[in-house]
Amino acid sequence: MAPVSLAVLVGLSLLVKRRRLHRSCWNGVPGLLSPANFLEEEGNQGLVAAVFGILFSSLCVLILDKDPLPLVAHSSQSTREYWKILALLYYPAFYYPLLACATVGHRISYLVGCLLSWCHCVVHVWQKVDCPQSPKIYRYYSMLSYIPIILCLVLLSLWYPALLIRSFTGQEETLSKEVMKIHGVTLDLQPAPLFLCFQIPLKLVLSITMAVIAVYQVALLLLVAVVPTIQIVRAGMTKDVVVLLVQFGLVPSESPAVPGDMEKELNTVKYYLWSLEVCYICSLVLCCLLTCAMLLRTLVMHRNNLKALYQGAVLDVFYKAHILRPSRQAIVCWMSFAAFQTAFACLGLLIQQVIFFICSVGFTFFVIIPLQSGTNMYLFKIIQNMWPFWLTLVVAVIVQNLAAHYQFLEQHSLQKELTNRRALYIVTYLLFPINVLVGVLAGVWRMVISGLYNAVHFCQLDISLLNRGVETFDPGYHAYCHYLKIEVSQSHPVMKAFCLMLLQLTRPEGPPGLQASNVEEGIQLMQPKKVPLSRTRFKQSRARWWLAYTLLNNPSLTACRKTALSDPTANGTQLSACKP
Amino acid sequence: MAPVSLAVLVGLSLLVKRRRLHRSCWNGVPGLLSPANFLEEEGNQGLVAAVFGILFSSLCVLILDKDPLPLVAHSSQSTREYWKILALLYYPAFYYPLLACATVGHRISYLVGCLLSWCHCVVHVWQKVDCPQSPKIYRYYSMLSYIPIILCLVLLSLWYPALLIRSFTGQEETLSKEVMKIHGVTLDLQPAPLFLCFQIPLKLVLSITMAVIAVYQVALLLLVAVVPTIQIVRAGMTKDVVVLLVQFGLVPSESPAVPGDMEKELNTVKYYLWSLEVCYICSLVLCCLLTCAMLLRTLVMHRNNLKALYQGAVLDVFYKAHILRPSRQAIVCWMSFAAFQTAFACLGLLIQQVIFFICSVGFTFFVIIPLQSGTNMYLFKIIQNMWPFWLTLVVAVIVQNLAAHYQFLEQHSLQKELTNRRALYIVTYLLFPINVLVGVLAGVWRMVISGLYNAVHFCQLDISLLNRGVETFDPGYHAYCHYLKIEVSQSHPVMKAFCLMLLQLTRPEGPPGLQASNVEEGIQLMQPKKVPLSRTRFKQSRARWWLAYTLLNNPSLTACRKTALSDPTANGTQLSACKP
């Protein structure tokens, strides 16, 4: 019954949505509707992010689903591939009206948006309440994977009414709101307290939101694919299997392997399985936290990079000089940036989970369990057998450091100089074999640290995983560099402030105070210094700006300025003007 | 019999060597002998490299040997560890006289060096001719691993006689030879044709030689540990084992598994084993070639880095500004640099072998063998099933590129500008799900390329495997940076030329032509330009230098110079001098 009702519901909601799609399409706006103005700052960043979240979650559900399209129930194995590809294009078109309703900026479109989002929301919630379990992977997986979709739809169902209400009450605030927005962009050139005011580009908001949803979806999949299985295996563990494990030497046992007398070994096996489960969950939690921390770091680094590029400091961001201008590659990278960020977050989480799980299992079974039970002491035995070797290495390193400090380095008042060269050469020669062994350890450390660093920073596109000479061969960093080019060249705050001033000059009926405040904004934008703006400097800048403004409006005053008087050429003009 | 004669021989040679060590120690030189002047350029780089080669090869033999010290035959398991640690210090001391004889610079020491190296050489060759086989790993392994030692000893046995002969015939050439050396150092600031004249620091020669020997030793070990085993398994393959393999599904078989009728399957298994062997050897050869190429690249990069640092361009080499001055850390890193390079070459080869072997086996068993035999078509089946998916991704990427080029980019005369923004936003939104899948592929590529890059460049210490912000956390790169500091601060060619001039001033009985040529060297060193030295510039510089030289020797002429005449203060003095 549930599938039938589902199919009917989906078909019905689809019809409704289709009709509404047409209505909003023809809603007095000629041509196609823009989904979102990705390059311009808007107040509706949350709304756009929510629709993209729905889209990405649908993609996640789609990949594992057997019936990718709601139109085609029970597709066959051979045609499913084609339906899935079609679905990749169908879903964006399906959710398109949810986004387009907001960009029209008309009361009716907001109303349509309201109804549409409520309708979507009710259908999805109903589906999941009606039939919370599904046979896919884990019975609650389907429900849990739909949570981001439902949350995003709830956000939309609240956002559209808010837009509608605001369109009735606050029509007049539009202009001042726009100015406030410019304030937001402008103030980010000021220091830390205004950090939260910083307007992050819409594309970046999208990519980070998508990445967080991706982390949720991948972590959920990793969790439900493994943990219930381990639990089932643990619950179903029998003494026959334990005998096998004991015979393979995987489980320690004092008594000979007799199936009847295996109570203790059975408990050990269950304890091992429980440890595996704990390791898996711990490493998964660690991965999620690390990935989210790295995504936050991306935001901070992106803000610094944007600030540096706005101020023209290209070499602070890139290793080589770049021209910040749109190009074919830059546009393609800009288009796919959010998608790349999402995909990299997924992959990064997977890689981290594999590495951390192996490490935690190794740590548990070679350190913690041996310490608890006194069995499987392989690692401790190796350390015990090799302690003279480790001691030799440590002593050699310490001796070299001490000798370098007290024997080979002569400290004058300000600078250090090499001394006792003959002894230095002798020590270098004699310790060469031991240093090779130290070098092997350093090499292992190099391998471990570079692997860990790359795994942890995999989801960060603003960091290249390659050496600085070849860093643009990294596809992620390459995409990020080009993305930055488009963002900086197309939405520089000074350019925006200038455009707004032009808009206001063509519309002189605006309140006169606004123009003054805009002009004041200009002062702050034009200061490329990184030093915190002190009160005096601010006043000084304002005074200078007013002066320039006055001089522009009264050009005759220019000749009387102090600098003009002291300038030799101006002097000459003045003198020649005085002479006759 | 062989072990007994060996022990006697080694004991005898040891006694002889010991006596000679004492003799050379008291040979008129007070205190300890320096093994080699690592920071000063010498003619005997090959000799030092040969002794270090012997030392490193002994270390390699030592690690796998059961009797680490020749003094202690048949050590027990428990004490072997201690003997090995002792051997780490014993071998450098044992080969010390071979090196020290060259630095004394006296005829008798050369003679002692001759006898000593001949003695060592004869003992080793005799050992290996007498008993070429050993039960260790592979019967010829011991002999093959001794080849570098014997080659180095042969080099020494030829080098010492050459030194001895030269000391009789060419005593007078010493001074001119020294000047020639400085010439060599000096000329490296000139461009490419003189590349081979460049005097590479002794430490770097050592580290590269050691790394090449390390590659040989590790490759040999990898080869003899695996290939003979595979050959034995292949030769001993029986039909019973083939039945097992067929039952496990590892070998394809049309007929049911009957042990009597397995001729074809037996051949298949043998062919598979042969393929494994070929893969292993091919990947090993590839690894060795790659590692050697990277070591050569290290030499080239090191030369460029040294040139840049000699000219003061610190930021061309390091990402951040460094002070090129000795410090405790710098001395420790300098001491262990050659050892680190050796160890990293070993580890790098191992890592590369693992990666390339897995890749080549995958390629062979999933691509080549299926193409040959038509079985195991897993990969081709996956590609066949997924071709609509791949096609979609390729089409999406092409469409985005074409659209970016022809639709979204407006080309003015000089610069490009973004256009058709609404269509750009719509395409960006609609292609988001497909771009996520493209992003997954890009992420896989990022993983593969960073892994491969790090594996291939593992043996290069002059490249950091970490991102440019944290690159000094890489222990290899950290050691290299500090090594460079010591090299540059302690052996700058200008400083050396200056020191030589000072030495010649205190020793005025030298031929007068030499001073002039040294002074001329100074001109070239002082030119920090990278442009090829043109003939005119050279003449101009020489003229200037002669002028400075003349003025220094005739200070009274300074007042009559053109610049002195036009200088206002000098003018005043001259005027005031003229007035009375």
For the residues of A231-257, what is the DSSP string, one character each? HHHHHT--HHHHHHHHHTTSS--SS--
Residue B432 has pLDDT above 70, yes or no: yes
Compute the distance between CA of residue A483 and CA of residue A464 in angstroms, rounded to an integer.
Answer: 14
Q: Are residues A142 and A65 in the same domain?
A: yes
Has residue B515 been placed in a domain? no
What average pLDDT does range B455-479 have in this prediction?
91
Residue of A nearest to B406 (CA): A328
Has residue B514 been placed in a domain? no
Has residue B189 been placed in a domain? no
- Secondary-structure breakdown of chain B: helix, strand, coil percentages, each rounded to the nearest 5: 75, 0, 20
Please report residues of A whose CB lies closer than 8 A to that of B316: none
Buried b (16+ CB within 10 A) or exposed e, B122-140: ebbeebbeeeeebeebbee
Q: Are residues B137 and B224 in the same domain?
A: no
Q: Are residues A334 and A454 in the same domain?
A: yes
Residue A249: partners with Cβ closer than 8 Å, 6 or more residues away? none
Cβ atoms within 10 Å, residue B384: 9
C-beta atoms of B464 and A467 within 8 A: yes
Confidence class for position B5, pLDDT limits 50, 70, 90 = very low
Residue B91: partners with Cβ closer than 8 Å, 6 or more residues away? A433, B55, B58, B59, B62
Question: Locate tokens 């990069």: which residue?
Answer: B301
Residue of B nearest to A341 (CA): B439
Q: Are residues B241 and B329 in the same domain?
A: yes
Q: Which one is predicted more confidently, A528 or A131?
A: A131
The two tokens of residue A553 are 């409006």
Residue A574: partners with Cβ closer than 8 Å, 6 or more residues away? A559, A565
Lowest mean pLDDT of A270-284, B58-72, B355-369, name the range.
B58-72
Has residue A509 been placed in a domain? no
Best probe of the A interface among B467, B472, B483, by most A CBs < 10 A, is B467
B224-227 long-range CB contacts below 8 Å, 24 or more apart?
A: B224/B137, B224/B138, B224/B140, B224/B141, B224/B144, B225/B137, B225/B138, B226/B280, B227/B277, B227/B280, B227/B281
What average pLDDT does range A479-494 have in this prediction?
86
Has residue B68 been placed in a domain? yes
Residue A218: partners with Cβ closer than 8 Å, 6 or more residues away? A345, A346, A349, A350
Instruction: Tell me which DSSP letter residue A29 carries.
Output: -
Q: Are residues A376 and A275 in the same domain?
A: yes
Which among A171, A186, A211 is the end of a domain? A171
Residue A576 has pLDDT above 60, yes or no: no
Best probe of the A interface among B89, B91, B429, by most A CBs < 10 A, is B429
Residue A488, pLDDT score: 86
The shortest C-alpha distance from B209 to chain A (Å) reads: 14
C-beta atoms of A388 and B81 within 8 A: yes
Q: Are residues A219 and A144 in the same domain?
A: no
Confidence class for position A173, pLDDT limits 50, 70, 90 = very low
Which of A55, A451, A467 shows the shortest C-beta gap to B433? A55
Residue of A nearest to B341 (CA): A439
Q: Which one is predicted more confidently, B425 or A70?
A: B425
Confidence class for position A188, pLDDT limits 50, 70, 90 = very low
Q: Are residues A220 and A298 in the same domain?
A: yes
C-beta atoms of B340 and A91 within 8 A: no
Cβ atoms within 10 Å, residue A562: 7
Residue A273's SS3 state is helix
Has residue A181 been placed in a domain? no
Residue B177: partners with Cβ closer than 8 Å, 6 or more residues away? B43
Q: Are residues A129 and A261 in the same domain?
A: no
Has residue A516 been placed in a domain? no
Confidence class for position A558, pLDDT limits 50, 70, 90 = low
Please report residues of B whose CB lies closer than 8 A to that of A81: 385-386, 388-389
Handedness of CA B471, B474, B476, B478 (dihedral sign): positive
Residue A563, pLDDT score: 55
Q: How many domains does chain A have?
A: 3
- ipTM for this model: 0.81
Instruction: Tell me which DSSP letter residue B44 carries.
Output: T
Cβ atoms within 10 Å, residue A213: 25
What average pLDDT does range A332-337 have in this prediction?
93
Residue B381: partners with Cβ closer than 8 Å, 6 or more residues away? none
Please report residues of B whose CB lies closer than 8 A to that of A467: 453, 457, 463-465, 468
Residue B452, pLDDT score: 94
Residue A560, pLDDT score: 64
C-beta atoms of B335 and A431 within 8 A: yes
Q: Are residues A541 and A405 in the same domain?
A: no
C-beta atoms of A458 and B447 within 8 A: yes
Residue of B nearest to A38 (CA): B425
C-beta atoms of B473 and A342 within 8 A: no
Best probe of the B interface among A52, A336, A351, by most B CBs < 10 A, is A336
C-beta atoms of A332 and B404 within 8 A: yes
Compute the distance between CA of residue A447 and CA of residue B474 in angstroms, rounded to an integer.
Answer: 9
Q: How far is CA B534 from CA A149, B524, B531, in A?
A: 72, 12, 8
Confirm if A197 and A212 have CB atoms less than 8 A apart.
Answer: no
Residue B136 has pLDDT above 90, yes or no: no
Please report residues of A whose CB lies closer than 8 A to that of B335: 400, 404, 424, 427-428, 431, 435
Residue B67: partners with Cβ closer than 8 Å, 6 or more residues away? B73, B74, B75
Per residue in B203-247, pLDDT tens? 888 889 999 999 999 999 999 999 999 999 999 888 888 888 888
Compute the distance between CA of residue A116 and CA of residue A127 in angstroms, rounded to an integer.
Answer: 17
Compute the distance between CA of residue A542 and CA of residue A528 in angstroms, rounded to an integer.
Answer: 15
Residue A364's SS3 state is helix
Of A514, A466, A550, the closest CA to residue B467 belongs to A466
C-beta atoms of A326 and B418 within 8 A: yes
* Mean per-residue pLDDT of chain B: 78
Q: Is residue A521 classed exposed, middle or buried when 0-12, 13-18 and 19+ CB atoms within 10 A define those classes?
A: buried
Residue of A nearest to B103 (CA): A422
Confidence class for position B575, pLDDT limits 50, 70, 90 = very low
Which among A151, A171, A191 is the end of a domain? A171
Compute the distance between CA of residue B413 and CA of residue A532 in angstroms, rounded to an integer.
Answer: 41
C-beta atoms of B85 and A392 within 8 A: yes
Please report residues of B whose CB lies closer than 8 A to that of A385: 81
Residue A409: partners with Cβ closer than 8 Å, 6 or more residues away? A416, A417, A418, A419, B326, B327, B328, B331
Handedness of CA A183, A184, A186, A187 (dihedral sign): positive
Q: How far is CA B575 from CA B557, B559, B560, B562, B580, in A?
A: 17, 12, 13, 15, 9
The two tokens of residue B7 are 């022990």
Q: Are residues A46 and A119 in the same domain?
A: yes
Q: Identify the H or E element spanning B19.
A: helix B2-25
C-beta atoms of B404 and A445 within 8 A: no
C-beta atoms of A433 and B343 within 8 A: no
Handedness of CA A108, A111, A117, A121 (dihedral sign): negative
Which of A319, A346, A389 shows the shortest C-beta gap to B440? A346
The two tokens of residue A531 are 């030093």
Please report residues of A whose CB lies closer than 8 A to that of B50: none
Confidence class for position B580, pLDDT limits 50, 70, 90 = very low
Confirm if A422 and A432 have CB atoms less than 8 A apart.
Answer: no
Residue B12 has pLDDT above 50, yes or no: no
C-beta atoms of B89 and A408 within 8 A: no
C-beta atoms of B404 and A331 within 8 A: yes
User: Which stretch, A297-311, A546-560, B169-183, has highest mean pLDDT?
Assistant: A297-311
What average pLDDT does range A507-525 have in this prediction?
48
Confirm if A36 and A48 have CB atoms less than 8 A apart.
Answer: yes
Confidence class for position B292, pLDDT limits 50, 70, 90 = very high
Confidence class for position A567, pLDDT limits 50, 70, 90 = very low
Confirm if A457 and B467 have CB atoms less than 8 A apart.
Answer: yes
The three-state (H, E, C) secondary structure of A160-180, written as one string: HHHHHHHHHHCCCHHHHHHHH
User: Which stretch, A116-120, A560-564, B503-507, has highest mean pLDDT?
Assistant: A116-120
Residue of B nearest to A437 (CA): B343
CB-defined contacts A:B, below 8 A? 327
Residue B573, pLDDT score: 38
The two tokens of residue B419 are 């256009």
Compute the distance between CA of residue B6 and CA of residue B3 in angstroms, rounded to an integer.
Answer: 5
Which among B490, B523, B555 is the end of a domain? B490
Question: Locate tokens 């074809």: which residue?
Answer: B264
Confirm if A108 and A12 have CB atoms less than 8 A apart.
Answer: no
Residue of A nearest to B487 (CA): A418
The shortest C-alpha distance from B25 to chain A (Å) reads: 14
Please report residues of B whose CB lies closer than 8 A to that of A329: 404
| Single pTM value for the model | 0.80
Per residue in B327-354, pLDDT tens? 899 999 999 999 999 999 999 999 999 9
Q: Are residues B159 and B223 in the same domain?
A: no
Has residue A539 been placed in a domain? yes
Q: Are residues B464 and B576 in the same domain?
A: no
Residue B284's domain comprises 202-490
Q: How far is CA A142 from CA A55, A73, A148, A149, B516, in A?
A: 16, 17, 11, 11, 89
Q: How far is CA B368 from CA A171, B375, B380, in A?
A: 70, 11, 11
Compute the distance between CA of residue B439 and CA of residue B424 in angstroms, rounded to an integer.
Answer: 19
Please report residues of A whose CB lies closer than 8 A to that of B469: 463
